[in-house]
Amino acid sequence: MLYLCTPKETKLLGTLLRHALPEVELAIWPQAVDNMQVRHIVAWNPPEGFFANFPRLEAVFALGAGVDRLLLRTDLPAHVVIIRLTDAGMAQQMAEYALYGVLRYQRQFDLYQQQQVEHRWTPLPPRLAHEVRISVLGLGAIGSTVATTLAGLGYSVSGWSRRPHQLTNIACHYGRQALDTLLNNTDILINVLPSTPETRGLLDHARLAQLPQGAAIINASRGDQLDLDALLERLDAKQLRFAQLDVFDMEPLATGHPLWERSDVIITPHIAAITLPDAAVAQIADNWRVMQRGGTPSGLVQRHLAY
């Protein structure tokens, strides 16, 4: 039996799953089920302790790309396989989200917005796309689409990841040592890394200080990778021109948080790339079938890497 447990779009996801996997018996939480029959779960943020109810659970299909919270749970035994979404329509959304900040930076819309507040009419020297150095942290399905989309528009794009990658027109770097040099040469830093023990706290005081004067930062993966106190300090010092933030350690961001007040910060409520029910269910159904045949699903989480 496949058990669906999600706080959002439950009805739609249930209908889509029934359609995509007619051969599977589907139940939808909180419908009562025989717990012994549940082998597969499709879920996003199920209640704490939920997984412990199913002694014969084999696999969990996450309705998202990031499985950091799933991996921190104590009710999910180590033998249960976790499959996350890879792309499933999120990569393009993320590229669009990044592009908004990139255009704001390159075409200086933030500076013109300030001029408007001051009723000033002052054309600024143009900055051409190829003069803007963009670094994308994370080169998985999402990061590589972000990087290649921006490179296709003429920006000078570098990428950074844990292991080596090769992407056309992207200068790919990997490993901790390469990061500092890259940050020194970055006008716009775009973070789409998964949250893992290795990446949590990565963008701390020391690393933000490596960015050149006037750089911008876009964080669209997880809040725990970016030190907000360090960010505020760098913004106050005018080293950073602006930050575009979609994710926070505590969501929603506390109403009294100093970030809300700032004209040099754009805050969005974790919408950079949302799960698209059709694409998500299509990928889950494909993966389910691959697994029935004994194959390896796309998005199989390697627990030792935490993504």
The set of catalytic residues is 222, 270
**In the complex, what is the shortest distance from the CB of residue 276 to ligand GLV, in angstroms, rounded to a whole number?**
10
Helix (H/G/I), strand (E/B), else coil: 183? helix
What's the CA dihedral at 110, 116, 121, 127 to 10 degrees?
Answer: 10
Query: Which residue number, 188 or 192, has a Cβ lying nearer to ligand GLV?
Result: 192
Give dist(CA 202, CA 175) in Å, integer. Answer: 12
Residues forming contacts to ligand GLV in the complex (CB under 6 A) are 64-66, 275
**In the complex, what is the shortest distance from the CB of residue 243 to ligand GLV, in angstroms, rounded to a whole number?**
18
Give dist(CA 275, CA 64) in Å, integer. Answer: 6
Query: Which residue number, 199 or 275, has a Cβ lying nearer to ligand GLV?
Result: 275
**In the complex, what is the shortest distance from the CB of residue 83 to ligand GLV, in angstroms, rounded to a whole number?**
13
Q: Which tokens go with 284? A: 């889950």
- Name the one residue in this structure whose structure tokens are 């997984």: 51
- DSSP β-ladder status, 265-267 and 81-83: unpaired
Q: Which tokens go with 244? A: 């575009």
Query: Which residue number, 91 or 203, has a Cβ lying nearer to ligand GLV?
Result: 91
Query: Which residue number, 106 or 275, has a Cβ lying nearer to ligand GLV?
Result: 275
Give dist(CA 300, CA 307) in Å, integer. Answer: 8
**In the complex, what is the shortest distance from the CB of residue 195 to ligand GLV, in angstroms, rounded to a whole number?**
9
